[in-house]
Structure 1
């Protein structure tokens, strides 16, 4: 038996590579088993599980996040199973296979590039002895006389690939990865996808048939691993249209796209999509023209801004925008500008990444020219460049953490919009917040949700004008209840007065009879509603603040937070705005 092992970063992830190798093994599929684990497993548990399976050969899928874990595990396996044949594949070994085999004496073979046909031929060699190992294209192997590299493997026709999924029972509540194309039309210097110059795409008919399986099984999320999915507009439009027409009301599809490559008919189609049906990831990376030129990335920035804004205005598609710190010609100040440019686009998710200098990439060839200092261990992240000091990188790391906590969590939306008005720009806000965490040693320990709010409230009080203190308290209280009705309230939440409590109970009494504001709560009594939904009084126009950043007062009103019905894009409770007359039941 040959065992294919995938070691994921998290349990919710799955390994597409090992499934594709097994599915495409032809008549040898019955001789192949799959085992998936995570890097959070104790290595001893994985070691024992593989040993008990008694495989004759084990193949590992190697990536940045698991390479050290994999190599340590493989070496130990060889000690207790000395006749075990160990082979490796994936981007972390494909670009320097001779070095891998020289460094790890227990490694027998590395598959270079895509592996489906290579693996099938390897199985013919290993199981039946039907061919010589030297006749298998796309490998580097250890022979009696040393290391041997065979000729490169030619890419498969994408329609020849066998669909890798047939049973979803073992994959419930996990992210499913799907591939409909290989290669990338761009040549970004930091990315390994740019090495394959051509783009191979499945026929739309095949893709549609395969997506049907996900739709029928109501898979929660399918992530397309394709680079720039809409590089072929006709193909992308047809698949998006198919997904829209066959929406099952559950499945979410994730695509990495070129935001400036969208067409007018795409937007008309997006208008018809259920909120949460699709989400887009757009790699901006930088807005500095010199940087974009150096990394060989072309994009129409003005059109990208316009298109992102159009999608945002519709409110039904989650957008994830990326920046990379440490790129050539990007210093601290130009990165701050890139940050503010992208932040102003109001992405649903704003990811700050740091340059990883990968073997095989053009960026690695230029590391001396750019004076790049990077870790020698995976993920090979930069320490400094000609333009960015390590001190700068540390500062950016703090900002990255604050963006992750206070922006990407969706839990502080109104608060961050309000606070941004008090600083020179958005970057300065997160920079000062990171300094607050540093001074209080908060980066050094775990902090629960309630404390995150307390820290932000105290931070805000330092910067909010005294005349605005009440507004700040209202705004952050709104954010607290927008996500959850927690029993343990932060100190800034004002307790309801006895009068308010009576009025709220009276409102729920009427609601139990009329069901005018809470659809789906029929059958509940006042006592239950009091602990299931929240009614809060406000004088700040929160909706105006969220819409355009304007702080404006209005006549007192109530917001009814409905936690059974949530926004599928940000998980916020559904809201109903009530005038005082509606709240009190005044005709």
Structure 2
């Protein structure tokens, strides 16, 4: 049989671990080709490529982010390949399976749950006696009726072959994310998460895990993302893995999902002392800081211990942290979510991901949807549209927060400015992002693209129009200028602000800066941007207050590709006026 394993990834850089697990388990009996696409690829292009492969069996791995696009491709394939056997698997079709069989008449089989052994047994029956009722974990059709077999017992992880050693993957390892698992299962029972359905955690053999990681790194992998639901649930296992990765990373970066409030102090101390900067990234699901909400979704979380972990990791300066929030959980209205957002933003994670509750098939929260008055999308991704406490109007507003948060905090384009705005100029971080998000929406900017200078100009436009008495325009504009200059690797050709130093003042500043820095004036003109601020930037950085007794000459120098821009803040000499002559540019 010609077997093709296919999926539509969210992005090209992603890879499908599921397909590789299936391929590895079938090897020796059945050869399977892997065909990966993205949800942005035209369905005709995907169907044409699969048609070209002349498959007898096509297996699709299905998730909430790709199921609807996959269905379009399946319907096309059924018309052009009427005899092909189409199999679906993955978490999206492992629940409500009978409904999927009824809806998707073009599909022949669905593999539920862990798929390695079930898919291999299905291929055996397709090439043999075709006694599908013997295959645990399989749904199939008989006499036009959907039959759903009993589920399969958990697999022995020690019996699974490695999915990481296919020669055809090696050429692209350096340019894609490698997904890796050291365990399966989750010890927690969060009712919005599919992982809560499987009780218990099983681990792969440590020596095998280390050998596979060494192979991937030796073969060129640059980013390995562990898919374990709680990487640090077993302290000794996690500590041994951290130690191994520190000793063997060779420039590779590793990303983990951790539960912060159970991270042991000795593990934190070890990481603070030994972790190389930039090699580890932590993803931490906070979701909510509202105790009533966490109780309702059976989520155990010790906020003070979580804060301790995130703070200690941040203070080490070695590990970037990505913290997740979910808007729309039970017992959380707009005001309590505002508090959750501000609680988590106060930790200043490198990235704060604001997501919206998805009523996933098979989860307890979807089963209890009526209890909380949930309404949600009928099709994937099943995002909630409102509940008894958070109507759709509030969801829409919070989505505006998400939009500008992503552009202005997570992208780290203007950290100095945003830190000032959220800490000093607005009542809270949430209030700033909400007011700015509302302004962004009112002007229709969400429907048009933007260049870097547009993002700065739009923020400045909002700040001028917002009439916020706590805002110091001189400080704000000065910080925006500094952030803008530092976002470039080469001296920018365009600036977005209207007030510019006139030529005589600019020449005088250049000469003064060159003399004070001991640099050649002509070289400085080519490789530096110069601007004057009407306040003492050094006092601002050190003391957080505005001193207008003298200004600052800002010099940003550029060394070119691969080197960050350098900021020099030169206090203006005594007797030199803080205010510069300006022209409208």
CA contact (8 A) 1:252 1:278 kept: yes
| Aligned residue number for residue 228 of structure 2 | 226
Taking the aligned partners of 2:162 and 2:57, their CA distance within structure 1 comes to 24
Taking the aligned partners of 2:198 and 2:73, their CA distance within structure 1 comes to 31
Taking the aligned partners of 1:492 and 1:242, their CA distance within structure 2 comes to 54
CA contact (8 A) 1:418 1:545 kept: no
Structure 1 residues 200 and 37: CA distance shift in structure 2, 3 A: same
Taking the aligned partners of 2:172 and 2:512, their CA distance within structure 1 comes to 50
Taking the aligned partners of 2:470 and 2:143, their CA distance within structure 1 comes to 80
**What SS class does the counterpart of residue 93 from structure 1 fall into?**
coil
**What SS class does the counterpart of residue 88 from structure 2 fall into?**
strand
98-107 vs 456-465, which moves further: 456-465
Taking the aligned partners of 1:545 and 1:242, their CA distance within structure 2 comes to 43
| Aligned residue number for residue 8 of structure 1 | 9
1:66 and 2:72 aligned: no
1:155 and 2:151 aligned: no
Taking the aligned partners of 1:308 and 1:60, their CA distance within structure 2 comes to 38
User: Pairwise mapping of residues 490-505 of structure 1 onto structure 2 (< 5 A)?
Assistant: 490-491=496-497, 494-495=500-501, 497-503=506-512
CA contact (8 A) 1:413 1:546 kept: no
Structure 1 residues 535 and 237: CA distance shift in structure 2, 3 A: farther
| Aligned residue number for residue 197 of structure 1 | 199
User: Pairwise mapping of residues 38-437 of structure 1 onto structure 2 (< 5 A)?
Assistant: 38-127=38-127, 129=128, 132-144=131-143, 146-166=145-165, 167-249=169-251, 251-271=252-272, 272-420=274-422, 421-437=424-440
1:332-357 CA-to-partner distances (Å, cap 9, x unmatched) read 11000001100101010011110000
Q: Which runs of 5+ in 1 are unaligned?
A: 513-525, 568-572, 583-587
Superposition TM-score, scaled by structure 1 size: 0.89
211-220 vs 40-49, which moves further: 211-220
Taking the aligned partners of 2:145 and 2:394, their CA distance within structure 1 comes to 46
Taking the aligned partners of 2:431 and 2:74, their CA distance within structure 1 comes to 47
CA contact (8 A) 1:473 1:492 kept: no
302-311 vs 276-285, which moves further: 302-311
CA contact (8 A) 1:482 1:561 kept: no
167-176 vs 256-265, which moves further: 167-176
**What SS class does the counterpart of residue 22 from structure 1 fall into?**
helix
CA contact (8 A) 1:320 1:350 kept: yes
CA contact (8 A) 1:291 1:328 kept: yes
Structure 1 residues 424 and 144: CA distance shift in structure 2, 3 A: same
Superposition TM-score, scaled by structure 2 size: 0.89
1:394-431 CA-to-partner distances (Å, cap 9, x unmatched) read 11011111111111110121111112222211111111
| Aligned residue number for residue 446 of structure 1 | 449
1:443-501 CA-to-partner distances (Å, cap 9, x unmatched) read 22222221110011122234465993222221111111222143221125745701223
Q: 1:556 aligns with which of 540, 552, 556?
A: 552
Taking the aligned partners of 1:117 and 1:467, their CA distance within structure 2 comes to 63
Taking the aligned partners of 2:434 and 2:493, their CA distance within structure 1 comes to 32
1:182-237 CA-to-partner distances (Å, cap 9, x unmatched) read 11111000001100011111122221111112222342211111101101111111
Taking the aligned partners of 1:289 and 1:3, their CA distance within structure 2 comes to 47
Taking the aligned partners of 1:543 and 1:256, their CA distance within structure 2 comes to 39
Structure 1 residues 33 and 68: CA distance shift in structure 2, 3 A: same
**What SS class does the counterpart of residue 200 from structure 1 fall into?**
strand
**What SS class does the counterpart of residue 502 from structure 1 fall into?**
helix
**What SS class does the counterpart of residue 324 from structure 2 fall into?**
strand
CA RMSD of aligned residues (A): 2.7
CA contact (8 A) 2:164 2:216 kept: no
Taking the aligned partners of 2:343 and 2:108, their CA distance within structure 1 comes to 49
Aligned residues: 560
1:457 and 2:460 aligned: yes
CA contact (8 A) 2:527 2:557 kept: no
User: Pairwise mapping of residues 456-535 of structure 1 onto structure 2 (< 5 A)?
Assistant: 456-462=459-465, 463=467, 468-484=472-488, 485-491=491-497, 494-495=500-501, 497-503=506-512, 510=519, 527=523, 531=526, 534=529
Structure 1 residues 248 and 511: CA distance shift in structure 2, 3 A: farther
**What SS class does the counterpart of residue 276 from structure 2 fall into?**
coil
